[in-house]
Structure 1
């Protein structure tokens, strides 16, 4: 099947793991390996809610000339949960700051976050992490419960509350139900290309339910609808690129425009005919925007 706007799966240069906050965090390295200390630009890419590092690979494959590190968030993919405490934005931001320390001496460090990853990376920067630049794809610029899909968001809140309240043998299957995952995928995909839509649905079926347990996914969901980048905007003092979609029902353009106006050094670029799945549907133009931005700012 030929998939529009998608490169063949990239091959990692290396992989590894680090124990941070009790989580055995798995990560993969792509692109240009670090050679001379202080000269390699490293991009640490943080995926969105319920996904894992696979979701960002269509963009990673196109970031020519950069070294990219893609961790799985604690509790998702191949990374184990935090040993104690909730899986909220503060915990993830602290984890990310610790994760970055092992790469900060290799050269300029860039943070990239998609969707919920945009909140985590922004919170980490607001708390004191100082990357050379910040890239936010489909940034959560306003509370999800106030967006155009507010009704659906509130239905999702009820769904996760029910999954948490049921006995384990019923709760986890509900939260990983393939029909519900497919429904979410259908709602989020905006492309009319049947092959691309089929591939997106397959990606969601493969990777959207790779969470450690229902506690992790419920806590992370609560964080994803409770926090937004706007809460941290006034404390983000690094060059920041926002890439949004004009059909994003989760974060409308007006909210993204308000957000970029609050950043001390921000730029907003909008892709046409795409919603909240830029990393799947418009990976090539997004990667070009990132490369151009970093080429000018680093």
Structure 2
């Protein structure tokens, strides 16, 4: 591993040309399909983009259920692509939430947790899968996915990477994390009041994207750091409008998985970074206990040396945990 140097933080290294250096697996190429859903407020028809990867490998004697992936705030299907590459035995369906990636914003509804959860439920139903999937989500996606499952979306199991276990403004990790949440909320609200072109310039300003990446990165690997910066530079501004993004930020900074824990009566795998500023180890343990108290089964893994970017910095480890956990569920069935 080529170690990160001080100058790499100021001037990010180039990303690797081949992501196999990060995953040990060839990159998978998804196929896009648009699933028609109803606007949660008006009922108007709209579409969600879903990117599907067919299985490219098999493991003898092990079932390989379909996986539905749900990205985080300001993300799209690219964010979890490395994890998909590391699980080649599974068909994967990466849903882009309304207003993110190739999915248009809701025509009428506000971009809230409840509305995003309803859109996810409708999208999964529209995929017409042969059996309920395993749902895997990261960051804000864990909030949306958990609320969707708690509201009745069929799923055989739930995998939450860096779950949002507590509201951003109440995060127990550090005073700095709470201060950053206050600043971020004001930043998105202010940008939404600007003309759209100016708002996009502010929200996608290279120094802002760079600073966000530096603040969230914990990796000591130059290849991982270069890949992370490149992904954020290319995809961090894939959103429909500044107004929609401000709505989604309000949802992401106030919604939590804990709010839906009482409805998670299924197997749940929680994987979080010990250094995650958006969810302290204590909050993750409390979330695990809440799921157990509700009647679900839960397995929690806290990974040292990583923060909120598990999907970039530990894709192989995350995939291995998912694979082992699913094999255990299959044996117990």
TM over 0.5: yes
Alignment match of 2:49 (pick from 26, 32, 47): 26
Which range moved further: 224-233 or 263-272? 263-272
Which range moved further: 42-51 or 70-79? 70-79
**Structure showing greater Rg:** 2
- Residue of structure 1 equivalent to 2:107: 83
- Residue of structure 2 equivalent to 1:178: 206
Report how far residue 8 of structure 1 moved: 4.0
Q: Does 2:261 align with 1:233? A: yes
Report how far residue 100 of structure 1 moved: 1.2
Report how far residue 40 of structure 1 moved: 6.0
- Residue of structure 1 equivalent to 2:91: 67
Alignment match of 2:307 (pick from 275, 278, 289): 275
Q: Does 2:39 align with 1:11? A: no
SS at match of 2:192: helix
The answer on whether the counterparts of 1:31 and 1:63 sit within 8 Å (CA) in structure 2 is no
- Number of corresponding residues: 292
The answer on whether the counterparts of 1:40 and 1:106 sit within 8 Å (CA) in structure 2 is no
- Residue of structure 1 equivalent to 2:59: none
Q: Deviations over 1:181-206 (max 9, x none)?
A: 11100100101222321211110000
Q: Please list every run of 5 or more consecutive structure 2 residues that lacks an aligned counterpart in the other structure.
A: 1-15, 39-44, 57-62
Alignment match of 1:93 (pick from 102, 113, 117): 117
1:127-276 matches, within 5 Å, as 127-147=151-171, 148=174, 149-263=177-291, 264-276=296-308
2:259 & 2:132 partners in 1: Cα distance? 26
Which range moved further: 141-150 or 2-11? 2-11
Report how far residue 87 of structure 1 moved: 0.7
Q: TM-score, normalised by structure 1?
A: 0.93
- Residue of structure 1 equivalent to 2:60: none
The answer on whether the counterparts of 2:132 and 2:154 sit within 8 Å (CA) in structure 1 is no
Q: TM-score, normalised by structure 2?
A: 0.84
The answer on whether the counterparts of 1:40 and 1:108 sit within 8 Å (CA) in structure 2 is no
Across the aligned residues of Structure 1 and Structure 2, the Cα RMSD in angstroms comes to 1.6
Report how far residue 173 of structure 1 moved: 1.4
The answer on whether the counterparts of 1:23 and 1:79 sit within 8 Å (CA) in structure 2 is no
Q: Deviations over 1:152-183 (max 9, x none)?
A: 11111111111012233322211121210111
Q: Deviations over 1:19-38 (max 9, x none)?
A: 212332111111428xxxxx
1:40 & 1:242 partners in 2: Cα distance? 20
